[in-house]
Structure 1
Amino acid sequence: MAKQLSAPQVTEMLCEVAQALIGKVDVLTEADLATGDGDHGIGMRRGAEAALEALGATPDLSVQGAFKQTGMAIMSKTGGAAGAVFGTFFRGGAKAFDEVDTLTATAFRDFLGQSAAAVSKRGGVEEGAKTMVDAVAWAARRAAEADGDDLSEVLSAAERGALEGVEATKEMIATTGKARSLGERSLGHPDPGAISVSIILGAMKTYAAGQGD
């Protein structure tokens, strides 16, 4: 289990994230069919494929550069609101990596906090609106509560938080996006964007768990 990751390892980790999203396209599509038009999975797959291409085409990326490259690829290829907010998820907190050469627990906690604020601002929504913001906010809180310098523990806490956020969205009535028209019929269904956040953080956790210090 890794206490920190080098810049090349971060690039590898983000490639694993992209592969995880591609592998879950059917799960995301099914979730979106319940509350939207079913295109979330396809959109995230397009963004993830673009991220893989971008990361592979640019060697020797810094930690910050790898996150920014991923965000730009997702923003440009995912399409719609998902492209904007998921691109912002990766880019919005990248300032946390301004002065670091490795991905540490402290830097990742800072990243999630800044990312949560940036996504909320970009999407124009607060926590409780049944969006991916709910998963990001829960992840940021749980990561902040995970004291210490073990990156793997912080990533595990972040994934747990994201999954809590996914569960929380089941009890919410959508007030924004395509699901808003469903009103109370959106109850009982998780937000597909929140599920995507849990997949992203789960892939990061799995990667870090497989690395040595």
Structure 2
Amino acid sequence: MDKNKREEIVQAVSEKIEAEKDLLTELDSAIGDGDHGINMARGAKAVMEKLPSLIEKDTGALLKGIGMAIVSSVGGASGPLYGTAFMKAGDALKGKEEPSAEDFLAAFSAAIAGIKMRGKSTTGEKTMLDALCPAESAMREAIEAKKSPKEILQAAAAAAEKGAEETTNILATKGRASYLGERSIGHRDPGAVSSAFMLRAMADAI
């Protein structure tokens, strides 16, 4: 993956978040602070402003720089969680110009581990992990089946979308949504949805 393709993918993800910010805010208004879409769009803008200084670097440094831009610009829980995810992924890909599918899976797993650590959370709690963990499993299965990079990301995106949809039926036990108790059931988790949006944008761009 050359620098032009990396730039194209980052831009596609940023544009997807900007396009869906109103939906993300609507989802968060139902069970959270109502600022997820606004915060994510702010982070996407910060990433695009930082991108020219990062694009010549290797993939690991690029991801780490994206994480730092998110942490410094995004409020709420999503800033530390997404920022940690990108920085951990960057650490896993340190020095790699063109990571293999296996490298990318290792980075994705590191990102998830970072989210679990930062959020003290796991699956089944109505969080972004309910989209990302199924995506990780689908990615691993696609790699083992010798699928192409496009097919691997498409499988991950589809699993994330399914996982995000299924958060509708989960009782929230983490974050602001947990204060609602049973009333959190019937709503999709905005973090799971934004995670699925990002993976879909990557899959479509690659």
TM-score by length of 2: 0.93
The aligned residue for residue 159 of structure 1 is 157
Amino acid at match of 2:74: T
Amino acid at match of 2:186: G
Rounded to whole Å, the distance in 2 between the matches of 1:34 and 1:172 is: 14
Asked if the contact 1:14/1:70 (under 8 Å) is kept, the reply is no
The aligned residue for residue 119 of structure 2 is 123
The farther-off stretch of 145-154 and 155-164 is: 145-154
The aligned residue for residue 173 of structure 1 is 171
Asked if the contact 1:171/1:188 (under 8 Å) is kept, the reply is yes
Rounded to whole Å, the distance in 2 between the matches of 1:59 and 1:30 is: 33
Percent identity of paired positions between Structure 1 and Structure 2: 38
| Pick aligned residue for 2:14 from 10, 15, 18 | 18
Asked if the contact 2:126/2:189 (under 8 Å) is kept, the reply is yes
Asked if the contact 1:132/1:195 (under 8 Å) is kept, the reply is yes
> 1:88, CA displacement in angstroms?
1.5
Amino acid at match of 1:84: P
Amino acid at match of 1:14: V
The aligned residue for residue 42 of structure 2 is 46
User: How many pairs are equivalent?
Assistant: 204
1:67-114 deviations in whole A, cap 9, x for unaligned? 111111111111121100011221122233235321432222112111
Asked if the contact 1:11/1:61 (under 8 Å) is kept, the reply is no
The aligned residue for residue 183 of structure 2 is 185
Alpha-carbon distance change, 68 to 116 in structure 1, aligned in 2, over 3 angstroms = same
Asked if the contact 1:109/1:154 (under 8 Å) is kept, the reply is no
The aligned residue for residue 110 of structure 2 is 114
1:133-177 deviations in whole A, cap 9, x for unaligned? 111111111101112262111111110121122022111111111
Gaps of 5+ in 2: none
Q: Whose relative contact order is higher, 1 or 2, with alpha carbons under 8 Å and at least 6 apart? A: 1
Rounded to whole Å, the distance in 1 between the matches of 2:96 and 2:148 is: 16
Amino acid at match of 1:177: G
1:102 to 2:116 alignment: no
Alpha-carbon distance change, 8 to 96 in structure 1, aligned in 2, over 3 angstroms = farther
1:74 to 2:41 alignment: no
Asked if the contact 1:142/1:158 (under 8 Å) is kept, the reply is yes
Gaps of 5+ in 1: 209-213
Q: Secondary structure of the residue that 1:27 maps to in structure 2?
A: helix
> 1:186, CA displacement in angstroms?
0.7
Runs of 4+ in 1 over 4 A off after TM superposition: none
TM-score by length of 1: 0.91
Asked if the contact 1:46/1:78 (under 8 Å) is kept, the reply is yes
